Amino acid sequence: MKTASHNNLPIRSIADEIVSRSSIFAVCLCFLISIAPHFRNLPLWVSAIVMISVGWRCLQNLDKIREIPKWVLIPLVLFGGIGVFAEYWTIVGRDAGLALLAVMTSFKFLESRRHRDLLILVFLCYFLIATHFLFSQSIFTAGLMFATLIVITATLITINQRDDRIDIKQLLTSSARLVGLSVPLMLILFVLVPRVPGPLWGISNEQRGGVTGLSDHMSPGQISNLIRNNQVAFRVDFEDEVPAQSMLYWRGPVMANYNGTRWYRARRKGLDRLNLTVTEPAVKYTVTLEPNGEYWLLALDMPTKLVPDSLMTADFQLVSTKKINDLMRYSMESRLAYQVGENESLKYLQLTLDFPADRNPETISLGKSLAQRFDRAEDIIDAVLTMYREQEYFYTLQPPALGVDSVDEFLFGTRRGFCEHYAGSFALLMRAAGIPSRVVTGYQGGEYNDVGNYLIVRQSDAHAWTEVWLENKGWVRIDPTAAVSPSRIEQGLDNALSDDESVFR
């Protein structure tokens, strides 16, 4: 009697099995739930590819349309990759990486028929929900992703069971139990695994709109556009007590050149030594600066310390020797009471008096008349600040568009502006009155986090102010915005705006 031999029978792996229709529908739903919160972060055409691919696969699953052949699918994949590169000029980084992942996962759906294909898609969904934390780390995001995690795990259970009959309640209960069992391990890993000292990919705060932070130039409307960006610019840990809100001026690009419309930086050499007269102890703190793709480092006005791989320009702007494309952490010291620039060079002082004579004639005329009326520079400054304070000037996030003579139109026409309007017009009035002046951009204020004991400074805290040069005093900070809207400096931006303009609504 012969025994049947199974040696010649083909061994079929579960990974090669054709999956059920219910499993395919489950994975489609899983992918949509995982990717849907990202639609606001993706270009419209990428979101369209996601929806079309999932819809096509569902119809294919119902035998309504035919499967896309590989000779069509391969060019689609190539064009998708080219499209992402054309959108971002890279395929790496947070935004470009997400778009590429969404496109490639969508096309993977169109060829998924076997068990292994669905496993790959489910694992990609796990990765997708992790990418949400590259854009937001709020409690709401964490809760939403935890719920999505349960749905993905339920999908994983579905595609691995042989029975097509699905008890949704039992399935979600089993999934929640599995996820719950992983929580203790997650907490242990959170405590034991060291933090990554930078973002997962290159620059973490990319903006397709072109506004990632401060620029090396300033024109009317530029900072008010940046204010609508509520992303974190940097975080600050103070060694001792946090200074008052009104003293939190974070110094960035310094602009001494003016062409009648735009302020921009002057090229100045680095300082061999820091030459300040100080009257108070140093404020010590640590800055964690988000990637911004630029060279400037932010420091509390006035910085008195260099950080590695940086230099201090002659106008006291702290500059990195290489672009800041990764999260950067540095220790810093600043003096809140100081005197600097008493011995400024005549060449630079002349630069900070220059302005185009054929632009903004009314502003220039007003500045010259103030110089004839007052003998002391301090009196001229007070007169202009009083004008801002007592006449009908308004601080608004939505100023009207201005023409060629933008300062004239603002001062004598619209009278509605944001910090760059007031800083720019004040600096021009000072120059017309014979007082050297320049514009400084940076950030003002910040939001204190009681849980983490650190200060958060957002892009919406961007600000511009003016520095004037006074004999025997050097460069002195004057913030004309404080004359128009004291609450902006003392309490923060949102307290200075009307309810319909609030950044944090």
Burial pattern 310-347, b for ≥16 Cβ within 10 A else e, equals bebbbbbbbebeeebbbbbebebbbbbebbbbeebeee
Average model confidence (pLDDT) across the chain: 82
Residue 5 is predicted with a pLDDT of 45
Which residue among 479, 494, 499, 500 is the active-site one?
Answer: 479
Q: In the annotation, is 237 catalytic?
A: no
> Quick one: average pLDDT of 176-191?
81
Q: In the annotation, is 479 catalytic?
A: yes
> Quick one: average pLDDT of 293-320?
87
What is the H or E stretch that residue 322 is in? none
- Position 194 confidence tier, pLDDT thresholds 50, 70, 90: low
Residue 496 is predicted with a pLDDT of 46
Give the tens place of pLDDT for each residue, 65-77.
888 888 888 888 8
How far apart, in whole angstroms, are the C-alpha atoms of residue 237 and residue 456? 9
One domain for residues 380 and 278: yes
Assign 443 to helix, strand or coil: strand
Whether the predicted pLDDT of 34 surpasses 80: yes
- Say if CB 53 and CB 109 are below 8 A apart: yes
One domain for residues 114 and 257: no
Domains identified in the chain, total number? 2
Whole-model pTM over 0.75: no
Residue 82 is predicted with a pLDDT of 92
Which of 182, 206, 238 is a domain's end point? 182
Does residue 134 lie within any of the structural domains?
Answer: yes
Residue 293 is predicted with a pLDDT of 83
One domain for residues 346 and 424: yes
Q: How far is CA 52 from CA 46, 106, 110, 491, in A?
A: 10, 9, 10, 48
Which range has the worst mean pLDDT, 157-171, 348-362, 454-468?
A: 157-171
One domain for residues 102 and 226: no
Which residue among 408, 419, 421, 461 is the active-site one?
Answer: 419
Does residue 345 lie within any of the structural domains?
Answer: yes
- Say if CB 230 and CB 458 are below 8 A apart: yes
One domain for residues 445 and 391: yes
How far apart, in whole angstroms, are the C-alpha atoms of residue 132 and residue 147? 13
How far apart, in whole angstroms, are the C-alpha atoms of residue 255 and residue 133? 36
One domain for residues 440 and 383: yes
- Position 394 confidence tier, pLDDT thresholds 50, 70, 90: confident
Residue 330 is predicted with a pLDDT of 92
Which structure tokens are listed for 24? 């395919």
Which residue type, as a one-letter code, is found at position 3?
T
Q: In the annotation, is 421 catalytic?
A: no
What is the H or E stretch that residue 140 is in? helix 139-160
Which residue type, as a one-letter code, is found at position 469?
W
Does residue 443 lie within any of the structural domains?
Answer: yes
396 CB neighbour count, 10 Å cutoff: 20
Which range has the worst mean pLDDT, 3-17, 95-109, 243-257?
A: 3-17
Q: Is 340 left (phi over 0), alpha (psi -120 to 50) or beta?
A: beta
> Quick one: average pLDDT of 392-407?
82
Does residue 283 lie within any of the structural domains?
Answer: yes
> Quick one: average pLDDT of 8-36?
72
Whether the predicted pLDDT of 208 surpasses 70: no
- Position 499 confidence tier, pLDDT thresholds 50, 70, 90: very low
Does residue 435 lie within any of the structural domains?
Answer: yes
Range of the domain at 130: 14-182
How far apart, in whole angstroms, are the C-alpha atoms of residue 112 and residue 25? 12
One domain for residues 464 and 324: yes
Does residue 201 lie within any of the structural domains?
Answer: no
One domain for residues 145 and 228: no
One domain for residues 134 and 232: no
One domain for residues 153 and 221: no
One domain for residues 121 and 244: no
Residue 251 is predicted with a pLDDT of 92
Q: Which residue has the higher pLDDT, 181 or 501?
A: 181
Which residue among 38, 115, 132, 463 is the active-site one?
Answer: 463
Residue 245 is predicted with a pLDDT of 87
Is the preceding peptide bond at 332 cis, omega within 30 degrees of 0? no
Q: For residue 476, list its beta bridge partners.
A: 468
Does residue 464 lie within any of the structural domains?
Answer: yes
Whether the predicted pLDDT of 349 surpasses 90: yes
Q: Is 260 left (phi over 0), alpha (psi -120 to 50) or beta?
A: left
In the chain, pLDDT over 70 holds for what percent of residues? 84
Does residue 202 lie within any of the structural domains?
Answer: no
One domain for residues 376 and 491: yes
Q: Which residues contact 135 (CB under 8 A, 6 or more apart)?
A: 38, 41, 94
Residue 352 is predicted with a pLDDT of 94
Which residue type, as a one-letter code, is found at position 89?
W
How far apart, in whole angstroms, are the C-alpha atoms of residue 480 and residue 296? 24
Which of 159, 182, 205 is a domain's end point? 182
